[in-house]
Amino acid sequence: MSKRPWGYQPLQQRPDPQWSLHPDTHAVRAGLARSGFGETSEALYLNSGFTYSSAEEAFDSFADEVDHFVYGRFANPTIAMFEQRLAAIEGAEFCVGTGSGMSAMFASIACLVKTGDRVVASAAMFSSCYVVLTEILPKWGVQIVLVKGNDPQEWARALSEPTVAVFLETPSNPLLEIVDIRMVSDLAHKVGATVVVDNVMASPVLQRPLSLGADVVMYSATKHIDGQGRVLAGAILGSFSYIHEKLNPFVRHTGPSLSPFNAWVLVKSLETMSMRVERMNNNAQVIAEFLESRSEIKRVRYPGLKSHPDYAIAQRQMSGGGSTISIEFQGNRSDVFRFMNALRVIDISNNLGDSKSLITHPASTTHRRLTMEVQAEMGITESVLRLSVGLEHSSDLLADIEQALK
């Protein structure tokens, strides 16, 4: 369809590596498939089905012998534009869009494992990912081993026997623990494991796990990729063989499909993602430094601060500290709630990676599903808040936090 090499690629083919363009250029160009009308902006193909010019064409389409869309659960032109654009930005061979971040996380691991298989994961992770790994997969006889993500010895011990998959989230939500992706990938590959990284907190802009040795990257596109609080979506990125041999045989039949409308929103969101994430990241750095200077605050965890225990690894594998800050207060739950209620610009919300700055109390909201022991292990206490820094002007955010601290 497109004469430009970075445009839309046929569905079943291994794409030519076109990664010589900068990710920012891919963000506005990759995957673009213009119709005969020559529209500038990407078209929204809001349809579930497709027709064929003959019975033979239908036959060949189902046999994957011609490049023809078959059914919305398998592929759709607008969803393909999103997938190809994100793959080009990430430097991945293939991408599969999904209806949510959780369906992406579940499918990325579930397509690899069977009864008796072993999965190793870092313990500090988004609470629904924790439930999938520790409650849902074990029901089917999958063995889960959790390690402290920032302890190389625990990883080495856990990865000293055959393992099918490794799952890790770095930075982790909400305490921003850092896992050394290169170190874990090297250990994992020696025992045959596929390394899946939940790259939600860093976003595709600040961290590129595939270039650090990981095999698969997954996103909640609900976060920075949309970044404007509109759609729920997810994505899984990896090699041609992972996507076609492992993932597609699973997702095509279990149906965690992305809606074409949401894919269209995301195609346009990708065009501004790096500008948004850079601004959020710069705002967060300024706010983290300010918070660290305040006596009301016991501890600020932010990968862009020298006080972060894994600052050196964060510097090596991320190009910024990210948009999320974890704040531990001096004081109890009611002091923390009073601070939240006094904010005038920053909203109370459990979402993150949004253009609007949002604050949440993980112990009573996002992570309440976890037992007190697991919360304590992760370091989540009643006095911890998670601040997702948005696109407002940093001076207004600083003023808002300062007045609320009073």
Ligand X SMILES: *Cc1c(COP(=O)(O)O)cnc(C)c1O
Q: Which residues bind ligand X (CB under 6 A)?
A: 100-102, 105, 126, 128-129, 169, 173, 198, 200-201, 220, 222-223, 232, 234
- Bin 331: left if φ > 0, else alpha if -120 < ψ < 50, else beta: left
Q: Which residues contact 177 (CB under 8 A, 6 or more apart)?
A: 122, 124, 149, 150, 170, 171, 310
Kindly tell me which of 129 and 297 has the beta carbon lying closer to ligand X: 129
Kindly tell me which of 105 and 346 has the beta carbon lying closer to ligand X: 105
Torsional sign, CA 123, 127, 133, 134: positive
Q: Least CB distance from residue 220 to ligand X, whole Å?
A: 3
Cβ(320)–Cβ(171) below 8 Å: no
Kindly tell me which of 258 and 404 has the beta carbon lying closer to ligand X: 258
The span from the CA of 381 to the CA of 99, in Å, is 32
CA dihedral 242, 277, 365, 220 (to 10 degrees): -20
- Would you state the structure tokens that stand for residue 75, as one six-digit string? 């592929």
Kindly tell me which of 78 and 388 has the beta carbon lying closer to ligand X: 388
Q: Tell me, what amino acid is at 261?
A: F
Kindly tell me which of 68 and 308 has the beta carbon lying closer to ligand X: 308
Looking at the DSSP bridge assignments, the partners of residue 168 are 197
Q: Least CB distance from residue 366 to ligand X, whole Å?
A: 8
Q: Which residues contact 125 (CB under 8 A, 6 or more apart)?
A: 133, 167, 168, 169, 172, 173, 198
Q: Least CB distance from residue 294 to ligand X, whole Å?
A: 26
Cis omega (within 30 of 0) on the bond before 171? yes
Q: Which CA distances in Å does 235 have to 100, 223, 342?
A: 8, 11, 36
In this chain, which residue has its C-beta nearest to ligand X? Answer: 101
Q: Least CB distance from residue 103 to ligand X, whole Å?
A: 7
Q: Least CB distance from residue 221 to ligand X, whole Å?
A: 7
Cβ(180)–Cβ(207) below 8 Å: no
Kindly tell me which of 103 and 274 has the beta carbon lying closer to ligand X: 103
Kindly tell me which of 68 and 367 has the beta carbon lying closer to ligand X: 367
Q: Least CB distance from residue 180 to ligand X, whole Å?
A: 18
Q: Least CB distance from residue 218 to ligand X, whole Å?
A: 8
